[in-house]
Structure 1
Amino acid sequence: MAQNMSAAQISEHDYRSQVRKAAIASLIGTAIEWYDFFLYGTIAALVFPKLFFPTSDPYVGFLETFAIYALGFVARPVGGAIFGHYGDRIGRKATLIITLLLMGISSTLIGLMPTYNSIGSLAPWLLTLLRVLQGIGVGGEWGGSVLLSLEWGHKEKRGLMGSWPQLGVPLGLALSSALVSIFLAVGGKEGFVSWGWRIPFILSIVLVAIGLFIRLRIMETPLFSKVIAEKRVERTPVSEVIKNNWKEILLSALLRMSEQTPFYIFITFVISYGTGTLHLSGNFLNNSVLAAAFLSLFSIPFFGYLSDRIGRKRMYIIGSALTLIYAFPYFGMLDTKVPALVVLAIVVSLIPHDMQYGPQAALIAENFPTRLRYSGASLGYQLASVIAGGPAPLVAAWLLHTFGSSNAIAGYIVICSVITIIATSLLKDRTKVDIIQEFNEGVSV
């Protein structure tokens, strides 16, 4: 079968095959992207202050490291706008190949770059540049991967299909955490600081080769192929979606407050908090995060599937409410320093998150028309990175330093959850809506 054939020209059997390929391609691609992105966060918490800010006070070095970490999030809306434009102009497939290359090459170069002891203050500037390029790549990746899966799927299974690329998050997190644990065990603390941290970054180039092989074998989505065939491609999709769908973009960003803010506290800040404040083993904490990521491999698609049954908004609000309720017990269990309770706190923390993350892709993407969907969904999703995920570890560190108690961080999570519940309530629920029919395209997904 030729790769440039349209969905209308292939048999039912081949169509189903393309649906499977699209789901797998979106999953593996996002897993690679998020592996690279999470790897930075984990290693930054463990060794980057020593390697790139050795002359700074430990607290200042920590803030400097996570300021660079946050810049990756600031860059994500930029990537969403750039690749959203091309994704709505030339297609989902071509754009996703570029984002994969950008992310993989940037991560590999981080593994090869010199540290402060070799080139002085130039080292943190190079790290900042590569982190920004990582953010741009991830910013363009999510929207395309979600649409690749969602726009090939059946209208009654959009929650489940949209959850497939979301699985890239726990897969990437699990893979990055596993490799960090392996090289911590192999090289020990000194070996990891000296050379072990570089290997997981360098391995990115191997993962990129695998991802490219898979993505080059898929076709353009039938929904966007129809937009091209009917010559309805927008000249400036980003400006068009901002003009017509600004409310949906804003609400999409705000509804992520109780999903993204706690997530980066639960998987990144917890490592520095656990090692620095509670004096727990970094490897122990990393393995606990790995266990939580493994559970998410099952819970994310389950809650995506469940949203097809009970509705996206209902599923999402339940998850946000449970995040609010769990905030104080989470830190209460961590602060006991009892290993079993610490593991339980970390593993359970991602269940309310997954209740939101499973249906999130469909909830956001369904609120934008096909010709503007890549741009609109990417902007809404990635803007949250600036107000939620990016600042989260920094805000958490400041709250702990200022108030001397984890209760302040729990209160921060509660506020974010309230914002999410309000924003989700204001967004339309299109769970049962045919997202083609609203444009009179006359076919069902």
Structure 2
Amino acid sequence: MNDTVSDKVHIDQGRQQKIAGISSVLGSTIEWYDFFLYGTMAAIIFPQLFFPQQDPYVATLLTFSTYAVGYVARPIGGILFGHFGDKIGRKVSLVATLILMGSMTLLIGLLPGYEKIGLWAPVLVTILRFLQGIAIGGEWPGSVLISMEWGTKKNRGFMATLPQIGVPLGLILGTAVTSLFITISGESFQTWGWRVPFILSILLVIIGLVVRFNLLETPSFQKALKEKEIPKLPFVSVFKHYPKQVISGVLSNVSSDIAFGVFAFYTTTYGIKYLALDKSIFVNATLIGAIVAVFAISLSGYFCDKINPKKILGFGNILLILWALPYFYLLNTKSTAFIFIAVIIAFVIHSIMWAPLAPVIASSFPAHLRFSGSAITFMFRGLIGGGVAPLVSTYLLNKFDSGYAISWYIIFAGIIALFAIRYVDIKYQKAD
């Protein structure tokens, strides 16, 4: 009889592990599709749509400022959803983040431009972007934890990296849909074509919700709840008892977000505005790079259970430092082939860093504070990293009139990360 019960538990664990993995990848893909779609449109059309009375440089700065607002909101979302994720459960928070992100993305797609409602257009798009950021603030840590905590000691590192695959998948989906409607709508892209990718998001949200409703709470959270370890204000406990984990986690991973902000988003603006090349070259290069990244993240995630994730993270930062200067050299050739090579290699290097980021951050905190700790660390990293990367890149290019200035910005971030990795503590990786 005990064997039967044991088998049943094992089967349920295996089933939940599969559902958790699928849910994490799917939910993460949807959330990042919504989030990155804004970044793509910010590079292509939003300066003309929401800031048409500004000169091109100012319009680009203002557009990327609204992009950065999403990152400013992330820590708020991390604290908010982290509180409920540690108090009520991972599942409830994940359902809420998906609904919030999908609703805001739909409203962006329905928002009138500056020509129709004047200043209300940039004001409203900024508010919607802010609420998107709050949703991402709860989505990433929730997805990582629901997947990692349903994993076993043998595959926990890989399970934690599954939501990371949602980033390139979301970028692929967003870029592909944008490219499709650029082709379909033609000259009408500025009037209605850009709206369709945002509106279609609601269909993805419905699919994601169906999967998430089949999830159960993780054993780690149930154990913490049973043992009454949950504090009244989890985020306060994180700052009080685990400041080292937060600081080292932020600084050791900030370079990956800066790199992604440059590689995935600012490169398109650089190519269009500075190199005067067709936007399709960079949209397609980003699409191919994101496809390659899906496999690179999976491979890097696999080795997180074979090698200490800190070593993989450090190796990725070394590669980033070495590639920063050649990256802009290849872009400046204006050769389509070299541009594709530069972007694809950049995405592979970012993938090597991106996969171990999840287990490194999540495993730095005990179960009863893991949601809040992971959320706070990841979101503050994004705020000082990817959130300002396009803005800083725009400023550096305008001041120095050279992409190499951006290269040194990336190199500086990589050096800081290498130093901070030494202080990362992941002792909770297989503890519960």
TM > 0.5: yes
Q: How does 1:172-321 map to 2 (within 5 A)?
A: 172-188=170-186, 190-321=187-318
SS at match of 1:85: helix
**Deviation at 1:356?**
1.1
The one-letter code matched in structure 1 to 2:223 is K
Distance in 1 of aligned mates of 2:119 and 2:194:
20
Q: Contact 2:24–2:143 at 8 Å: present in 1 too?
A: yes
Aligned twin of 1:435: 431
SS at match of 2:53: coil
Worse-superposed segment, 92-101 or 420-429: 420-429
Q: Aligned to 1:53, which of 45, 51, 54?
A: 51
**Length-normalised TM-score, structure 2:** 0.97
Distance in 2 of aligned mates of 1:429 and 1:351:
25
Q: How does 1:375-394 map to 2 (within 5 A)?
A: 375-394=372-391
SS at match of 1:309: coil
Q: Which runs of 5+ in 1 are unaligned?
A: 1-6, 437-445
Query: What CA deviation, in whole Å up to 9, does each residue of 1:91-132 have, x standing for no partner?
Result: 000110000000000000000011100000111000000000
Q: Contact 1:257–1:384 at 8 Å: present in 2 too?
A: yes
Aligned twin of 2:91: 93
Query: What CA deviation, in whole Å up to 9, does each residue of 1:20-67 have, x standing for no partner?
Result: 100100110010000000000001110001011110011100000000
Identity of aligned residues (%): 44
Distance in 2 of aligned mates of 1:178 and 1:425:
39
**Deviation at 1:375?**
0.1
Distance in 2 of aligned mates of 1:23 and 1:215:
11
Distance in 1 of aligned mates of 2:66 and 2:114:
15
**Deviation at 1:298?**
0.7
Aligned twin of 1:166: 164
**Are residues 1:140 and 2:161 paired?**
no
Query: What CA deviation, in whole Å up to 9, does each residue of 1:284-328 have, x standing for no partner?
Result: 211110101101111102101112112111111000000000000
Q: Aligned to 1:332, which of 322, 329, 353?
A: 329
Instruction: Provide the aligned C-alpha RMSD in A.
Output: 1.3
SS at match of 1:54: coil
Aligned twin of 1:397: 394
Distance in 2 of aligned mates of 1:284 and 1:203:
25
Distance in 1 of aligned mates of 2:41 and 2:368:
39
Q: Aligned to 1:117, which of 115, 118, 131?
A: 115
Residues paired across the two proteins, number: 428
Query: What CA deviation, in whole Å up to 9, does each residue of 1:342-393 have, x standing for no partner?
Result: 0110111011111111111111111100000000011001101221111100
Distance in 1 of aligned mates of 2:301 and 2:294:
12
Q: Contact 2:156–2:430 at 8 Å: present in 1 too?
A: no
The one-letter code matched in structure 2 to 1:203 is L
The one-letter code matched in structure 2 to 1:361 is A
Q: Aligned to 1:157, which of 149, 155, 170?
A: 155
Aligned twin of 1:439: none
**Are residues 1:130 and 2:128 paired?**
yes
SS at match of 2:191: helix
The one-letter code matched in structure 1 to 2:405 is A
Distance in 1 of aligned mates of 2:80 and 2:124:
22
Q: Aligned to 1:27, which of 25, 28, 31?
A: 25
The one-letter code matched in structure 2 to 1:36 is D
Distance in 1 of aligned mates of 2:8 and 2:241:
34
**Deviation at 1:158?**
1.9
Q: Aligned to 1:351, which of 342, 345, 348?
A: 348
Query: What CA deviation, in whole Å up to 9, does each residue of 1:198-218 have, x standing for no partner?
Result: 000001111110010000011
SS at match of 2:154: helix
> Aligned in 2, Cα 1:10/1:328: closer, same or farther, shift over 3 Å?
same
Q: Contact 1:249–1:376 at 8 Å: present in 2 too?
A: yes
Q: Contact 1:184–1:283 at 8 Å: present in 2 too?
A: no
**Length-normalised TM-score, structure 1:** 0.94
Q: Contact 1:227–1:370 at 8 Å: present in 2 too?
A: yes
**Deviation at 1:430?**
3.7
Distance in 2 of aligned mates of 1:192 and 1:302:
38
**Deviation at 1:233?**
1.8
**Deviation at 1:413?**
0.4
SS at match of 2:155: helix
Q: Contact 2:254–2:382 at 8 Å: present in 1 too?
A: no
- In the TM superposition, structure 1's runs of 4+ consecutive aligned residues that sit over 3 Å from their partners are 7-10
Query: What CA deviation, in whole Å up to 9, does each residue of 1:385-430 have, x standing for no partner?
Result: 2211111001001000000111110000000000100111111244
**Are residues 1:322 and 2:331 paired?**
no
The one-letter code matched in structure 2 to 1:213 is V
Q: Contact 1:69–1:390 at 8 Å: present in 2 too?
A: yes
Distance in 2 of aligned mates of 1:107 and 1:94:
20
Aligned twin of 1:368: 365
Q: Contact 2:82–2:375 at 8 Å: present in 1 too?
A: yes
Query: What CA deviation, in whole Å up to 9, does each residue of 1:248-275 have, x standing for no partner?
Result: 0111111122201011100100011001
The one-letter code matched in structure 1 to 2:284 is N
Q: Contact 1:80–1:382 at 8 Å: present in 2 too?
A: yes
The one-letter code matched in structure 2 to 1:94 is V
SS at match of 1:203: helix
The one-letter code matched in structure 2 to 1:56 is Q
SS at match of 1:152: coil
